[in-house]
Structure 1
C-alpha cells in the first residue's frame, strides 16, 4: 500500500491568506506606531495606521469566524506537550491582541474632547465609539502597552517558526507558507 504524501498538515488557502495579510499589516502598524515618536516620517502615517488597524480588526474577526468553522491542522506529533500548550496560548493571545489593539486605538481616536480624524483610507468616515475622555485616555495607555506586548509576541512567534524550520527541521513553518508544496 502506497504511503500518502504529508499534505494534510497544511493550512487552507483561506487561513494562509488571513495569516499573511494580517501579519504584514501588523508589522506595518508596529513600525509606524512604535517608531512614530522616534521617526517623524513614520508619525505622519497615523491616518494610515488607524485605517490599517480597523482593517486588522475586521480581518481578525473574519479569521476567528473562519477558524471556528475550520480546524487547524494538527501539530506534528514530535512536538512535546508543553510546547503545544505554549503555541496555543501564544496564538490565542495574539488573537486577543489583534482585537484589543484596534479597539483601544479606536477608543483613543474617539475622545470627545480631542477628536481625531478617523477614515478608512480616505474612502469614508468611520463612526466614533461612544467613550468618555477618561475611557479614551485609558485606551491610549492600554494601546501603548498592548503594542509592546504585540511586538514581543510577534518576535516570539517568528523565532519559534524559524527554530522549527532551521533547527528542528520539521514542517511547522511549511504548513503556513503560501507557496510551499
Structure 2
C-alpha cells in the first residue's frame, strides 16, 4: 500500500490522518457536552468537571495541530477522483461537506483555544504550552464571543460529520461502490470519475457559511454580554471628602485547581480624609465596592453565586477605618464587611505625597473562610483559602 495518494487510491498517511481525526473528535465532543452539564457545587464535583474540561481542551489542541498537519499533507497530494458523476448535485454536496469539515476541524479547536487564552482559571490545558496565546489579550468580551463561536462552529462540525457518515454508508450499502473501502487500510483501487473535487463553488460556499455564522454569533454574543451584565450592576452613591480619587484599581487573586486567577472590581468609591503632616491617627477612609462589578476570568459567574459572594443578597462590600501614620509607614486599620461578615483588617500601604497629589499602593492577604466564601469547598484542593487583594489609588486634595 502506497504511503502517498495516487489517482486511484488514498495513501497510508492520508488514511491515518482521517481516522485519527475522527477518533479524536468522537472523544472530544461527548467530553465537552458531559462536562458542560456537570454540577460544580462541591470540591468533588468541581474537580470532576475541571478534569473533563481539561481533557476536552487538551485533546482539542491536539486536533488543531493534527488538522494543520493533515491540511499541509493534503496540499501536496493527488486527490483521487469522486466515484459519482462530475458536477452532479450529489458530488457538489459531498464536496461542500468535505470543505465544511476541513474548516471546522481548524475553526472549532481554534475558537476554543482563544476562549481559553482570553480568560483565566478553570480547567487548564495539560500541554506544557497554550495557557496563553500571542496577540490574544485577557478580555471578557473576547472570551464570550469565542465561546459562542466555538459552540456554533461545533454544531456545523457535528452536522457535517453526520452528513459525511450518511454519505459514506449510502455509497457502501446502496451504491455499493468503493468510496468507503478506499479510505480504509488495505489495497483498494477504484477509478474515479473526477471533476467534482476541483470545483471552486464548494470551498466558497463553505467559507460563506462560516463567515455568516461567525458574524451572527459574534453579534449575538455581544448583545447577550450587554444584556447579561447590565442588570447585575448597582449604582453606588457619590462621595465627597477631603481627597478625590482620580484613578485606581482594586484587584484580587485566587488559586483554583492550582491555577492563579486574577480579577478586579470596576466600580467602587472611596471617601478619604487625611492630613499628610499628622502622626498617629492621620485620617479616615471609607470604601464601598460593587460586588457585581467583579470580573474574575472564567469563574466570574460562579463567584457571584450563593456559596461565594452571593451578590444578589450582598451587592456591596465595605471597608471603614482609620489611617495611621507612624515613622514614615502607613496603615489603614478598620473593619471589612463582606457577605454579612465583619472582620478586623490592618492594611499596610506605601504612600507618596507631592503637593496636592497622593499615590498609594498596598497588598493584603485575606482568608475567604472568614467571610463564609466557598463554604462548600472545605479544603484547598479546588479553591485556595488565601485571597490576595491589591489596591492602587491616585488622589488629589
Q: What displacement does 1:180 show? A: 5.6
- What is the match of residue 158 of structure 2? 151
C-alpha distance in structure 2 between counterparts of 1:48 and 1:179, whole Å: 33
C-alpha distance in structure 2 between counterparts of 1:170 and 1:81, whole Å: 17
Q: As a proportion of its length, which structure holds more helix? A: 1
Aligned residue pairs, count: 172
- Counting only pairs closer than 5 Å after superposition, residues 91-170 of structure 1 correspond to structure 2 as 91-112=98-119, 114=121, 116-120=123-127, 124-129=128-133, 130-131=136-137, 132-170=139-177
CA deviation profile, 1:56-80 (whole Å, cap 9, x unmatched): 1111111111111002111125466
Q: What residue ranges of structure 2 are gaps of 5+ in the alignment?
A: 1-5, 40-44, 189-397
C-alpha distance in structure 1 between counterparts of 2:172 and 2:14, whole Å: 20
CA deviation profile, 1:137-161 (whole Å, cap 9, x unmatched): 1111111111122111111111100
1:22 aligns with 2:21: yes
C-alpha distance in structure 1 between counterparts of 2:31 and 2:15, whole Å: 24
C-alpha spacing 1:167/1:178, structure 2 compared with 1 (3 Å): same
Structure number, greater radius of gyration: 2
**What is the TM-score with the length of structure 1 in the denominator?**
0.84
Question: Of the candidates 54, 76, 101, which is equivalent to residue 47 of structure 1?
Answer: 54
Cα RMSD, aligned residues only: 2.3
Q: As a proportion of its length, which structure holds more strand? A: 2
Higher relative contact order (CA 8 A, sep 6+): 1
Q: What residue ranges of structure 1 are gaps of 5+ in the alignment?
A: 1-6
